[in-house]
A and B are shown apart, each in its own frame.
Chain A
Amino acid sequence: MIKLSRRRLIVSGLAAAAGASGLAVAARLAQKYGLIPPDGGGIYGLGETLSYASQRLLTTHALAREFSRSQISPRPFPNELAPFTDDFKRLQAGGFADWRLAVDGLVAQPALFSLAGLKSYPSRSHITELTCEEGWSYIAEWIGVPLSHVLNLVGVHPQAKYVVYTSAEPGMWDSIDMADALHPQTFLCYGMNGGELPVAHGGPLRMRLPRQIGYKNVKFVNRLTVTDNIKGFGKGLGSAAAEFGYAWYTGI
């Protein structure tokens, strides 16, 4: 019995050592290829990293399902909104004529875009499902300018890793990696179902990412910041939601 126990002890020790060094190598590789999300630490870091890394490896270029016009939900559900700021109310009263989207950070030419300016670029649309992390969903036609178009206009530096987007709703901000930022279905969305994007759905400008959950599709976007260091924003977890315990990556 003693002999066996000793042998088992040695074998287990070797297995543990192999496992630990295997994990270390995997972590190093994941870091190198940008497969660890900003909130990849902490007790749920393993799960967040596994989900993000595997989806980045498998689905980077995949397109979200698009639906037919007849599948558009007759009554899209507008989720609860925080009270508007006086600033927002003033802009709304003026028909958002003075709304500006600021783009800065690691770009060749920081710029301000008006809604009219954004609408002057080639308009794209897709009929996709918006799904809330709570479980509900609806299908709508989303109209806007691909984020990649705006990023190309301002000239993104090659070392860029994330695009941080900020809302007119105080304290609301989020970020996406370049794979999502340059994805053809990622829109700066200003229209819905043939008309303007209603304020209840995030108008005048909403980030629309059909491959991620609703809360990642931040409403009232008024600033984009391109960065290579997400740690410099907020608590460094990549989003305001992550600071409240909600995952940064929501492809799952």
Chain B
Amino acid sequence: MATLGSAELPARASIASGGATSLISKPVLRHSALVRLTHWVTFLCFLALLVSGIEIVISHPRFYWGETGNSLTTPLFQLPIPSSRKLVPTGYSYVLPDQNGWSRALHFQTAWIAVLTGLLYVISGFLSGHFRRDVFPGKADLSPRALLTSFLKPLRFERPSAGEMFSYNGLQRLTYLFVIFVLFPLVIWSGLAMSLGFISAFPWTVNLLGGRQSARTIHFFVSMALVLFLLVHVLMVCLAGFRSRTGAMITGRTGTREEGT
């Protein structure tokens, strides 16, 4: 009942390797309690980080490369938005209200919760076999043909097959791998590389990124990549059936009964 992995799931093989999942008629455990909990905590953290992050960017919507950069230097690029600071040259005649105090506090507090939740997820993911079973792609998943099929299907607004209700296809597995082991670590790293206390103890973390302003710019782009992932993720959930997929992430259960086409 309180298993960490999806131990009750009979079809451990992924879709491309051919599952007999369509034979299942009663609800099965799709997501373990821990996956569900960390998923929703991460989701709430993501929203808080996004809102507070946007507020912080508004106080200086210019981005630079290298160690330093300010209103007297040439930016790498500037977002076409107004600012909450008078001295930032934005082209707008008005200044937005200052929101940096609570935004920074919320951003860092949420970052702590998100990082600890992420650690819990990653450690338990290795221990429970969740990664091995649900995230690491099998050989068959990685065939160009299988990848192309999983890429084209949603573009034709085709709903996923019944079997895909119980596991992920190769493209999904690669995407989750990239998000979990590349984007999230990179957004944490580039964020820490802006912390003056942290980089005094670990200066290589910022030097390796090319300087503190580079770290800030990387943090921005990786955040945007994560937003893009979120949008596509939600879009795919809607395409696959918002009720059944979201229900599975809340109750953990899914079944063939709800699979209407």
Partner of B68, one of A63, A138, A247: A138
Partner of B87, one of A44, A65, A80, A247: A80
- In contact, A245 and B57 (Cβ under 8 angstroms): no
**B195 at interface (Cβ–Cβ under 8 A)?**
yes
B102 to chain A, nearest CB (A): 5
- In contact, A137 and B213 (Cβ under 8 angstroms): yes
Secondary structure call for the A interface = loop
**A136 at interface (Cβ–Cβ under 8 A)?**
yes
Q: Which residues does chain B contribute within 8 Å of A50, judged by CB atoms?
A: 109, 112
Partner of B112, one of A47, A58, A138: A47
**A4 at interface (Cβ–Cβ under 8 A)?**
yes
- In contact, B68 and A137 (Cβ under 8 angstroms): yes
Q: How far is the CA of A125 from the CA of B228 in the complex (A)?
A: 46
Q: Which of A25-33, A67-75, A109-117, A221-229 contacts B (4 or more CB under 8 A)?
A: A67-75
- In contact, B198 and A59 (Cβ under 8 angstroms): yes
- Count chain B CB atoms within 10 A of each CB in A50, A62, A79, A136 and give the residue with the most: A136
Q: Which residues does chain B contribute within 8 Å of A4, judged by CB atoms?
A: 1
Q: How far is the CA of A1 from the CA of B106 in the complex (A)?
A: 40
Chain A residue with the shortest CB-CB distance to B107: A47
Known: A46-B112, A134-B85. Contact between A129 and B68, CB under 8 A?
yes
Q: Which of B179-187, B199-207, B247-255 contacts A (4 or more CB under 8 A)?
A: B199-207
**A64 at interface (Cβ–Cβ under 8 A)?**
yes
- In contact, A44 and B200 (Cβ under 8 angstroms): no
Interface residues on B, range: 35 or more
**A231 at interface (Cβ–Cβ under 8 A)?**
no
A162 to chain B, nearest CB (A): 17
Q: How far is the CA of A129 from the CA of B25 in the complex (A)?
A: 64
A242 to chain B, nearest CB (A): 9
- In contact, B212 and A131 (Cβ under 8 angstroms): yes
Q: Which residues does chain A contribute within 8 Å of B87, judged by CB atoms?
A: 79-80
Q: How far is the CA of A132 from the CA of B85 in the complex (A)?
A: 12
- In contact, A47 and B110 (Cβ under 8 angstroms): yes
Q: How far is the CA of A68 from the CA of B146 in the complex (A)?
A: 54
Q: Which residues does chain A contribute within 8 Å of B100, judged by CB atoms?
A: 133-134, 246
Q: How far is the CA of A211 from the CA of B202 in the complex (A)?
A: 12
**B173 at interface (Cβ–Cβ under 8 A)?**
no
Q: Which residues does chain A contribute within 8 Å of B85, judged by CB atoms?
A: 80, 134
- Count chain B CB atoms within 10 A of each CB in A50, A132, A135 and give the residue with the most: A135
Partner of B216, one of A58, A59, A135, A247: A135
Restricting to B163-209, which residues have a CB under 8 Å from any CB of A?
A: 195-201, 203, 206-207
